[in-house]
Amino acid sequence: QVQLVESGGGLVQAGDSLTLSCTASGGTFGTYTVAWFRQAPGKERTFVASIMWNGSKTLYTDSVKGRFTISRNNAEKTVSLAMNSLKPEDTALYYCGAERFSVPSGRERSYTYWGQGTQVTVSS
């Protein structure tokens, strides 16, 4: 079983960049596909990006393609989400989720393990 902790959130201005980290403990991190989801106030949690357990495949939601990049370092048990050209509509609580030996998916139910989230606020 893996435990996940998100970090790196903060308050930035539109157009700025921010990198989020999802750090794991327990389990064999290199066997887990990891995804980032986000939840804006009053809205459902939605998919952002996912990276396969071996790093061979990534998946992004359309609204972040070309602006966000997901990557992983299995030796450091970390998945990062580099966010560039941030917009006010990117404001949300960002969560990472993990599932063992799965392919990247945009469905929340595809991931069993979740962190507590890190807040990203983008001012206009």
HEC sequence for 2-33:
CEEEEECCEEEECCCCEEEEEEEECCCHHHEE
Cα 108 → chain centroid = 12
pLDDT at 1 over 90: no
Q: What is the pLDDT averaged over residues 18-33?
A: 94
pLDDT digits (tens, 9 = 90+) for 35-76: 999 999 999 999 999 999 999 999 999 999 999 999 999 999
Sheet arrangement for strand 3-7: 3-7, 18-25, 78-83, 68-73
* Three-point CA angle 88, 20, 36, nearest 5°: 80
> Mean per-residue pLDDT for 70-99?
97
Q: Name the CA radius of gyration of the chain, rounded.
A: 13
Q: Give 26's pLDDT tier (boundaries 50, 70, 90).
A: confident
Chain mean position to CA 75 = 18
Provide the pairing of β-strand 32-39 with 92-100: antiparallel
